[in-house]
Amino acid sequence: MLTANRNTAVCFQALEKGQTQKEKTVSALYSCTNKVLLYFLSQPRHSQEEKEEVIRALETFMERWDVVMATYNSNVNFITCLLRCLLLIRSGR
């Protein structure tokens, strides 16, 4: 019985380590996604074609809102910068 409990504890510890690695991976993916999105939205748009690209990107962003703004993506700085970019786009700058 003691061996079974020990094996269960070892297995549980391995799963916990796996979750930690999974969380690190998800966090890294969101960090990269956030940077790419902010970079794209912060670029100046001069031509009508560039403005249409932003509209298409924002449409995709809205379609995938549940993924981009998931609980795992709780970086307050990202949200603040995203709102600033959206306000600047809205104001025409």
| Per-residue model confidence as pLDDT tens digits over 31-74 | 999 999 999 999 988 899 998 999 999 999 999 999 888 888 87
Q: Rounded to a whole number, what is the distance in angstroms from the first to the last CA of the chain?
A: 69
Share the mean pLDDT of the chain: 82
Residues present in the chain in total: 93
pTM (whole model) above 0.85: no
Quote the CA–CA distance of 52 and 48 in Å, as a whole number: 6
Task: Using alpha carbons, list the distances in angstroms from residue 2 to 9, 12, 57, 69.
Answer: 11, 15, 57, 45
| Max Cα–Cα distance, the chain, nearest Å | 73
Quote the CA–CA distance of 27 and 73 in Å, as a whole number: 7
Over the stretch 40-49, which tens digit does the pLDDT of each residue have? 999 988 899 9
